[in-house]
Amino acid sequence: MAKIVFFDVEDYEKEFLNKHNDGNFFFVENPLNDMTKISQEIAEAEIISVFATSRVTKRILSKFPNLKLIALRSVGFNHVDLDYCNEHNIAVETSPNYGNKSVAEFAFALMLGVCRKIFPAENDYKNMVINPNNLVGSELGGKTVGVVGVGAIGAAFVRLAYGFDMNILGYDLRPDEELIKKYGIKYVDFDTILRESDFISLHAPLMKSNFHLFDDEAFSKMKKTAVLVNTARGELIDSEALFNALTSEKIAGAGLDVLENESTINDLDLVIGINRLSNDELKNTIINSRLFQLPNVIVTPHIAYNTYEAINRILSTTISNIRAFEEGRIQNKVN
């Protein structure tokens, strides 16, 4: 029976996983990264499961000589050294489609939060400051929203936007005919998204081709009244360019559930080992701290996926991936 180690596991996840435990599951509460202490018992694992907060590098993978499968409890896989996995015949499986509704709904919450100034209003009222003139917002109905990445999550966002009576523009390599027919989405090029959108919501995976997709040039083409929402990956946006665009009023606001180099904020081994950070990582950490202070920005700690329903779907898919692998089948393979 293969030894399976789950990293970064919460108590409520253990309760779910133990229903499928044949006695070969081992749980580690902390994420897996270069600072993790790997005991002999854990090093013998043939299968490991990690969340997006882990950083599965070549250095850490070399400590698992028997490893055959990495079962990701996430859609993204940019936190895993796929080159090393390919070289050592380690399969990597992802957990797709678990948070389509959860992430789409959260993106809408961020969009509403920014455009209706919900959090400044709450803070003012709690401090007994009542000045509605400073809290004038804008409606979503009749406005144009650009959806960058119209996959499963983007499609769920499109359905919500349709319900809010918004004009919907989409930017994706593969137009979805059903979305065109049912929800009136119009697929356009990236520049059109920038020029015409009152709101832009990002739902694209991070790839080399779209790293810093939103840079100084992109922000210069957007409406000054535009709001940018990102629940995808922080590296889709150049942090410095975003900060400059917000403070110089090139755009009106942003709702961010992800940040560039966000791990430097909450990853203890990076906080302690700050000398391990590159100059770019240090710069982005400072910029992130400044973004927190801007009144026209909402920042949340990468929790768009975080609903009971989505977590149960993640765990169900992870168990299914592992069982299939044990039977000689690979499903939801990344590499």
In tens, the pLDDT along 281-292 reads 888 888 999 999
More confidently predicted of 105 and 132: 105
pLDDT tens string 31-48: 998 878 899 999 999 999
Q: What is the mean pLDDT of residues 76-85?
A: 91
Structural domains for the chain:
4-98+308-326 (3.40.50.720), 100-299 (3.40.50.720)
Percentage with pLDDT > 90 across the chain = 78
Question: What's the CA gap between 307 and 101, in Å, rounded?
Answer: 10
The residues annotated with a catalytic role in the active site are 233, 262, 302
In angstroms, the CA 54 to CA 269 distance is 11
pLDDT digits 0-9 by tens, 160-193 = 999 999 999 999 999 999 999 999 999 999 999 9
Q: Read off the pLDDT of residues 197-251 as tens digits, 9 standing for 90 and up.
A: 999 999 998 889 999 999 999 999 999 999 999 999 999 999 999 999 999 999 9
Q: What amino acid occupies position 3?
A: K
Q: Where are the alpha helices (DSSP H) in the chain?
A: 11-17, 40-43, 58-61, 82-87, 100-115, 118-126, 152-163, 177-183, 190-196, 216-221, 239-247, 263-266, 268-272, 279-291, 308-326
**pLDDT confidence band for 142 (50 / 70 / 90):** very high
Q: Running DSSP on this structure, what letter comes out for residue 30?
A: S
Q: Work out the number of other CB atoms within 10 angstroms of the CB of residue 265.
A: 16
Name the pLDDT band for 134 (thresholds 50, 70, 90): confident
In the predicted model, is pLDDT for residue 269 greater than 60?
A: no
